[in-house]
Amino acid sequence: MLKMVLDAIENQSKEAGDKVKNELLAGMTAPDFEFPNQKGKVYSLKDFRGKYVYIDVWATWCDPCCQEIPFLKKLEKKLSKKKIVFVSLSCDKDIEVWKKMVKKDKLKGIQLCMGKDTTFWQDYLVSLIPRFILLDKEGKFVNSLMTRPSDPETEKTLLALPGI
């Protein structure tokens, strides 16, 4: 029974990934978004023009998401002088829980919370988290299913970006 459930989850994940690959193609303009950081300042995708944007869609209650945090911190530190911004976009509905974690874990990069907003999920075809997305300096998709920070290929891919 468990194998059937795991197989069904794997198939659903593959189907979702195929849909993303077919609909959010490299070179397409990414939909704009506006979300607040932990201090209430609102950021828009447009604020990051001129830099690559590595988006981490995550939540405080998501163990696989939290396991990526140390790897993301290392990437942020290694690439801090490059033309890339790291945007961690939480989908926590309880914004206070998210704020506490940002402070407690000293999370770096741009920390934003979409709260109960589901438009981003629809626009970016997010069905599972963690999810990583790479945009170019003009806000266009480079990879809508980017590798995780824990994957050694991620750093190589980012360092190979033109003009980073």
To the nearest 5 percent, what fractions of the chain are helix, strand and coil?
Answer: 40, 20, 40
CA-to-CA separations, 116 to 16, 89, 92, 93, in angstroms, rounded: 21, 12, 8, 5
Each domain of the chain, given as residue ranges in start order, spans 2-159
Q: What would the mean pLDDT of 21-35 be, rounded to a whole number?
A: 86
Q: Which residue has the tokens 């607040």?
A: 36
What mean pLDDT, rounded, does the chain reach?
90
Whether residue 92 contacts residue 61, with contact meaning beta carbons closer than 8 Å, is answered with: yes
User: What is the CATH architecture assignment of 2-159?
Assistant: 3-Layer(aba) Sandwich (3.40)
Q: What would the mean pLDDT of 76-85 be, rounded to a whole number?
A: 97
Q: Write down the pTM of the prediction.
A: 0.86
